Amino acid sequence: MSSSSAHLCEQFAEAMQRMLDGEANSLSEPLESHRIECDDCRRFAESAANLTVALADLPRLEADEVLTSRIIAAVEADRAIPPPKRHLTRRIVTAIVVIAASIAVLWFAGEWTSVGRTNQMVSSHSVRPPAAKVKSNPSSFDMRDNLEVVAESIASLTRRTASDVIGPARDVFGLGVEMDWLRGPAEVRDHANPAMDSLQELRHGAAAGFEPIAESARRALAMFTRDLPTKPSTKP
């Protein structure tokens, strides 16, 4: 096969794609002549054209009324749910916890830096630091103790804020415990069910409110642990 013939075949293929794409209505005169002369190109063009027609005629999956109703019901149910309320209290509490955790981390980082600086001073000037600030033996420097202090502080903050926010509701509505005050004859309990549903929502809301606080604390701890140096600097 000559190179000019192959070149024409390639041009023909590109032109066919443009036609199949709807970007051209006809072939140029040289390519039309080529189509007549070249069996390969002619048959390939026929196959491609047949495929395009078949693709357009593919039976479509029609959505039936059942699906339509299902979608509309789901949309209506979704619209009936109010958008998630981001209570100001929850935001404030979360912000406080994050700030407290950040301060704790920064405070500890500052302590760490001062220990490192003091150690450098100890080495370079042979001055004994105060025992209360830095332990005389660097090997006794135990990061875990400090980490536990910070962890406990954050956990304490978390517990306290959770208790402050959720505690009163728990006390009033008996969240998380059996609601003894609603016990009574079956018919009374049946009538109380709608009210109980509301309380269940409150319970879930309280639990959901706690989650960001706990998450913030966990995140702060994880970041703190991640950023800890693996070994105290003892270089002079």
Partner 1 sequence: MIDDRILVKRCLEGEADSVRQLVERFQTDVLGLCFRMLCHRQDAEDVTQEVFLRVFRSLGKWDSKRPLRPWIMGIAVNRCRTWVVQRSRRPEIVDYLHETVADRTPIDAGDLSEEIAAAISELRPEYRMAVNLFHEMSMPYDEIAEVLGTPVGTIKTWLHRARSLLIARLQKRGIMTESAEAQTKAFVGKVQGK
Angle, CA of 29, 23 and 5, to the nearest 5°: 40
HSE-up of residue 85 (Cα within 13 Å, Cβ side): 8
Q: Nearer Cβ to partner 1, position 49 or 207?
A: 49
Q: Which stretch binds partner 1 (CB under 8 A): 60-68, 120-128, 134-142, 143-151?
A: 60-68
CA-based nearest residue to 5, from 44, 43, 31: 31
- Output 64 or 171, the one with its CB closest to partner 1: 64
Of 87, 118, 214, 116, nearest to 158 by C-alpha is 214
- Please identify which residue in 25, 26, 56, 132 interacts with partner 1, judged by CB under 8 A: 56
Residue type for position 87: H
DSSP 75-134: HHHHHHSPPPP--HHHHHHHHHHHHHHHHHHHHHHHHHHHHHHHHHHHHHH-PPPPTTTS
Residue 56: closest CA among 6, 86, 21: 21
Q: Residue 50 Cβ, how far from partner 1 at the closest point, in Å?
A: 8
- Smallest distance from partner 1 to CB 39, Å: 6
- Minimum distance from CB of 56 to partner 1 (Å)? 6
26 to 45: interface string for partner 1, x by CB under 8 A: -------------xxx-xx-
- What's the closest the beta carbon of residue 53 comes to partner 1, in angstroms? 10
CB of 25 to partner 1, least distance (A): 16
Q: Residue numbers of the site for partner 1 (CB under 8 A)?
A: 1, 3, 6-7, 9-10, 13, 17, 20-21, 39-41, 43-44, 46-48, 51-52, 54-63, 67-68, 70-72, 74-76, 78-79
